[in-house]
Chain A
């Protein structure tokens, strides 16, 4: 199922591994065993496939975005993960891990969420599979993603607003880990991205790798060949590794991860972990991270809550280190321009996370030229971001800003 990496202890070269309290090591071993046995069991994989197909609307379409292509100056194919149930690629991982939770005989699920997409996907999977669900979300994110908070609550999840540290995704992960260490007997932690301690990076990758597996087959069918490049946004790295995994052995397909450049690289207010970070340990794995001279984590900044994370999954660190994939930042402003462009040219309102990938593809199109075909992971839809977009573009007259 999985590609060659990681090794038995979860290392991708010098990255990954397990930097976790001893209390969680035995549970992580148990999880690793349960996951590997499940992936080798046709009953489990068959049920996972059925859930994806009948419930989540997978395989998602590969869409030939002709008007966007015209604007970009190269052919752009969009992998329409925005059309999945709950509106993002995240549902694949949430369903996979929730099904695994059942198989392990656990009854309670916890999750962290930034944009709220993973929280919604997890709350959905828990409603579907009858599991108790608690979602940790930074207070800042509960404010900018209020719609998703309401969705989670409606789905029966308890949402805990995290008020420590920077009150965003990294602090939500901290609190979820604190919960987990005390509750691991009955609780599975559905981590929402391809980061964290082994087996999470590999397990999440394998649950979302359908994105790339499908897109690869769809490209062959549509083009008779593989695309020249595959592009995805990188927060913790799940939608990107989900797209890349199938193409890693195809040396002719260039892989690009698009990082959140925030206010601009130079300002220091960004979340471009690989482009600007250094090697270190955060949330259980060695990878790149944004840190100060003393190894304290630096708060990240991005208009996109789902990309606003100072760490990144270890497999991306490894892909960057080996040169197999390259990573570059896109600013808030460039992402919002692409957000509008895709809306206007194709009638598709993307998640701001995914708009980063579209913006990256516009630059890559210029570099690769008009003959190039570029596959972009449209990881999610933009409904959750309408408030942010309205403010950015001044679409709604804010009463408080109104004239006297």
Chain B
């Protein structure tokens, strides 16, 4: 761990899991769903069930990277009146609940509207670990990168099966925390079959960086999580949790799924641990 690798807060948590010979579990739920308080309770259940890193989704009116499950949840949260300050206070409540790092996953416009540096300052003040930015590429990210560095925040950018090696190099060089590798060409949502694009993408990404690599899009159960943990440092799960909340299974249901996934990432020794 002495290399100059931009582990940041999320990366340190992921490496702790990897050092214990397993993959890390990164768990996503949107703020404000099914209600403001209900959202906080659901996210706490992710912690209780054993998530290593939290991703709090920032509901947005035009979520082009999301499938119907997250779209519906975002619409519901906004219709119920969720504001930017509520996302920040959700972060604050989760950050004080445990030591699990709390990232915010957000489309770019709400951050730009709030003021990039002001958001970075308030996120850091709330105890947040950083941002995952699905529609901000480092090419357009100079302002965010400067603010994140100033406020000691993680910057998680995405790489995709379509990314060239050159783009992977450039993108991973801008990442701190982890690199978000999207397993499929497509939007968020649970999928029956694991993607065969993920493993080669992780290999290409690892060739470019020592920053941990998390794989997301489509993972929904323990078997899939175990499969991904065999080649990635972290397994990212989102829509599957949203579906549990949507089905009205509450924090208990969220906790059950988290525990099951946490068992999955422990099933096979993570190759990442032997780096």
Determine whether B224 belongs to the interface, using a CB cutoff of 8 Å to chain A: no
Binds A, one of B5-13, B23-31, B110-118, B239-247: B110-118
A17 to B138, CA, bound (A): 12
Q: Are A297 and B140 also in contact (CB < 8 A) when A22-B182, A184-B162, A291-B113 are? A: no
Is B3 an interface residue when CB atoms closer than 8 A count as contact? Answer: no
Across-interface contacts of A18 in B (CB, < 8 A)? 137, 139-140
Residue A283 is within 8 A (CB to CB) of chain B in the complex: yes
Chain B: which residue is nearest A20 at the CB level? B135
Complex Cα spacing A291 to B84, Å: 13
Q: Which residue of A lies closest to B158 (CB)?
A: A22
A241 at the interface (CB under 8 A from B): no
A295 lies within 8 A of B109 (CB): yes
B 42-90 contacts with A by CB, 8 A: 60-65, 67-68, 71, 75, 78, 83-84
Residues of B close to A17: CB separation below 8 A = 139-140
With an 8 A cutoff between CB atoms, is B159 at the interface? Answer: yes
Cα–Cα distance between A110 and B235 once the two chains are bound (Å): 33
Q: Which chain B residues (149-167) contact chain A, with CB distance < 8 Å?
A: 157-164, 167
Contact B62 A22 (CB under 8 A): no
- Number of residue pairs A-B, CB distance < 8 angstroms: 113
Task: Determine if B108 is an interface residue (Cβ-Cβ < 8 Å).
Answer: yes
Residue of A nearest to B135 (CB): A19
B187 sits at the interface (CB 8 A): yes
Residue of B nearest to A182 (CB): B186
- Tell me, in angstroms, the Cα distance from A328 to B167 when the chains sit together: 41
Distance (whole angstroms) from the CB of A25 to the closest CB of chain B:
6
Q: Does A359 contact B (CB under 8 A)?
A: no
Q: Is A367 an interface residue (CB 8 A)?
A: no
Q: Tell me, in angstroms, the Cα distance from A17 to B110 when the chains sit together.
A: 17
Say whether A281 contacts B139, CB under 8 Å. no
* A385 CB to nearest chain B CB (Å): 27
**Residues B112 and A281 in contact, CB atoms below 8 Å apart:** yes
Q: Does A66 contact B (CB under 8 A)?
A: no
* 0/1 interface trace, chain B 174-196, chain A, CB 8 Å (1 if under): 00000000101111000000000
**Nearest CB to that of B71 among chain A residues?**
A164
Which residue from chain A places its CB closest to the CB of B60 in the assembled complex?
A296
Q: Given contacts A17-B140, A22-B159, is CB(A296)–CB(B171) below 8 Å?
A: no
Are B161 and A23 interface neighbours, CB within 8 A? yes
A159-179 Cβ-contact flags toward B at 8 Å (1 or 0): 000001100001100100110
B64 near A26 (CB under 8 angstroms)? no
What B residues does A217 contact at CB under 8 A?
none
- Closest approach, in angstroms, between the C-beta of B6 and any C-beta of chain A? 18
Say whether, besides A19-B140, A178-B64, A294 and B83 are in contact (CB < 8 Å).
yes
Q: Which chain B residues lie closer than 8 Å to A178 at the CB level? A: 64, 67, 186-187
Assembly CA distance A280 to B112 (angstroms): 7
Most buried by B among A9, A178, A297: A178
In the complex, what residue of chain A is closest to B171 when comparing beta carbons?
A22
Known: A281-B108, A296-B60. A23 touches B113 (CB 8 A): no
User: Does chain A have a CB within 8 A of B136?
Assistant: yes
The smallest C-beta distance from B170 to any residue of chain A, in angstroms, reads: 10
Decide if B134 is an interface residue (CB 8 Å cutoff).
Answer: yes
User: Which chain B residue has the least Cβ–Cβ distance from A164?
Assistant: B71
In the complex, chain A residues 25-41 whose Cβ is within 8 Å of any chain B Cβ: 25-27
Closest to B164 in A: A26
Q: Which of A9, A26, A170, A291 contacts B109 (CB 8 A)?
A: A291
Task: Indicate the member of B114, B137, B163, B164 with the most A CB atoms within 10 Å.
Answer: B137
Contacts of B182 in A (CB 8 A): 21-23
Residues from 285 to 303 in A contacting B, C-beta threshold 8 Å = 289, 291, 293-297
**Pairwise interchain contact A165-B185, C-beta atoms closer than 8 A:** no
A293 to B61 alpha-carbon distance, docked (Å) = 13
Interface pair A296/B78, CB less than 8 Å apart? yes
Q: Is the CB of A177 within 8 A of B163?
A: no
Contact partner of A297 among B62, B135, B184, CB < 8 A? B62
Residues from chain B with a CB closer than 8 A to the CB of A281 are 108-109, 112, 135
Give Cα distance in the complex from A23 to B64, angstroms: 12
Please tell me if A149 contacts chain B, counting CB pairs below 8 Å.
no
The chain A residue with its CB closest to the CB of B64 is: A177
Is there an interface contact between B67 and A26, defined as CB atoms closer than 8 Å?
no
Q: Are B187 and A295 in touch, CB under 8 angstroms?
A: no
Q: Known interface pairs A282-B109, A296-B110. Does A23 touch B185 (Cβ–Cβ under 8 Å)?
A: yes
User: What sequence of 0s and 1s flags, for each residue 175-192 of chain A, a beta carbon within 8 Å of any chain B beta carbon?
Assistant: 001100110110000000
Q: In the complex, how many angstroms separate the beta carbon of B117 from the nearest chain A beta carbon?
A: 15
- Across the interface, do B113 and A21 meet the contact criterion of CB distance under 8 Å? no
Minimal Cβ-Cβ distance residue in A for B67: A178
User: Which of B62, B109, B140 touches A174 (beta carbons < 8 Å)?
Assistant: B62
Interfacial chain B residues near A283, Cβ < 8 Å = 62, 64
Name the contact of A295 in the complex, choosing from B110, B135, B157 (C-beta under 8 A): B110
- Bound together, the chains give a CA A361 to CA B246 distance in angstroms of 52
Task: Please tell me if the beta carbons of B187 and A22 are within 8 angstroms of each other in the complex.
Answer: no
Question: How far is B109's CA from A278's CA once the two chains are assembled, in angstroms?
Answer: 11
Contact check, B113 vs A294: say whether CB atoms are below 8 A apart. yes
Q: A23-B185, A291-B109 are in contact. Are A174 and B64 (CB under 8 A)?
A: yes
Across the interface, which residues of B come within 8 angstroms of A296, CB to CB?
60-61, 78, 110
Contact between B78 and A295, CB atoms less than 8 A apart: no
Which 7 A-B pairs give the minimum distances between C-beta atoms?
A295-B113, A23-B160, A182-B186, A295-B110, A297-B61, A296-B61, A26-B162
- For this complex, 29 residue pairs linking A to B, each with C-beta atoms less than 8 Å apart, are A17-B140, A18-B140, A21-B65, A21-B134, A21-B158, A22-B159, A22-B167, A23-B158, A23-B162, A23-B182, A25-B167, A26-B163, A26-B167, A27-B162, A164-B71, A165-B61, A165-B62, A165-B75, A170-B62, A171-B62, A181-B185, A182-B185, A184-B162, A184-B185, A278-B113, A281-B108, A283-B64, A294-B113, A296-B61
Give chain B's interface residues, CB within 8 Å of chain A.
Answer: 60-65, 67-68, 71, 75, 78, 83-84, 108-114, 134-137, 139-140, 157-164, 167, 171, 182, 184-187
